[in-house]
Structure 1
Amino acid sequence: MKTPLTPAQVLDAPLPAVYEQAKAALTQCETIDECKDWSDRAAALASYAKQANDETLEKKARLIRNRAIRRMGQVLEQIEPATGAHLKRMGTHTLSRTEAAAQAGLSNNQKATALRLAKIPENEFEKLTKRDGPQPTVTELAERGTQKREVIVIDHTGGRDPKVFNRIIHFTSALECAVAELSGNADLLEHMLDWELAEALEAAARLRLILDNLEEHKCKPQS
């Protein structure tokens, strides 16, 4: 998000077509009252009572709102907060998370609430919003987003000495860097002098020994 939106663009932000259709349908339900013209008062009363006790539309509306707030938080998470490193890396001014939220018309409280909802794991959010009974309020969901959850730590060392594992990581990284460096400078070969080629070939021979050693270990059965 590099170009700030104008206030008019924010106000004119498009809504999904299905969302617009749903709003139109609800508006029609609000303005049309078929029951008032029914001659059978008992039937009209029963219909009004059924409408009064039917919370389907209300639950769906709350669900749509809860999902929209959570999605706002997920989008905000993808925008980096304003830091010196952030601006230095981008090279030019890029909207920070706070600026993007303000541009979209969100208050600090709304931004914080959206980010809290985004912290709720997907399966937990689905379970909360699809449960029987009333839809949870935004406040209830925001509180869920602030709860500490068990952190599962995965041991990537495979039970090996951490120092050895760290050296392995650096070894692999060095090979990857070497491949990238050599591939990007292959055009220099035609400009090298004989003694420079000889030194390069000697280094390549030492590297070939390392690669051959890698291949040998690859073929060995794992204990």
Structure 2
Amino acid sequence: MDKLPKNKEEDKGINMENKKEITGIYNTTFNEKKATPITTQSDLEMIENAIIEEVVMYVKGYHNVAKNKGMGAKHIKLHLEKDSKGYIHLEELLDLGKSIREYTRIFKEAYIDIEGTKQAKIYEWENNQGIRFRAVVDKMRGSQPPLSPSYEVKREGLPKTPLSPFDNVIITFYSDRNLNERMQFKNPSVSDYYKNHSNQTHLIKSSKKPELKPEDERITKQKRR
């Protein structure tokens, strides 16, 4: 059985619930665990906003090589390969719950992406290095998510009120690394947020006074005399 990376095992900044979630994601991806829950909002936010806790499920899933399609851990795991389109680091996968909760803290709810009669929940964000990420959550036909590659599934689109935790299944998670073009956010609010953030960062940098070199400081002092 593969073990959780040592840096995650020993990280004292992670509380027990988050550590349990991280371990669940790891064991679903690399070991025999079939599924693990991920909460989309922190306990504090749920108390302050008086909202019902929402859970999305990270499941073992499947990947169909012939069709190059799939869902869940077996499909997402392919993005851990460095040359893959949409490459993600293991650390980013293990922190998926944390990233989704941060998204929810800022944007309150997932973006509903409508394709015909189908609806999927989209979580998108950008890290400090400008890398963009997208996690897609949808409902799978049947009372349980598929755990076998031989199980042919169809995405139904999410109902307005989830019937059970397994109605919210993480289909895929990827970045815009190794893609031909930069990821374009589906959610206009997310796009505007990072555009404004980028502009503010640029203004802060341009407003800073340039650092003077020793010889410049001497010249400045002489001019003042």
Q: Do these two structures clear the TM 0.5 threshold for a shared fold by scoring above it?
A: no
Higher strand fraction (1 or 2): 2
The two structures have a TM-score, normalised by structure 2, of 0.20
The two structures have a TM-score, normalised by structure 1, of 0.20
**Structure with larger Rg:** 1
Higher helix fraction (1 or 2): 1
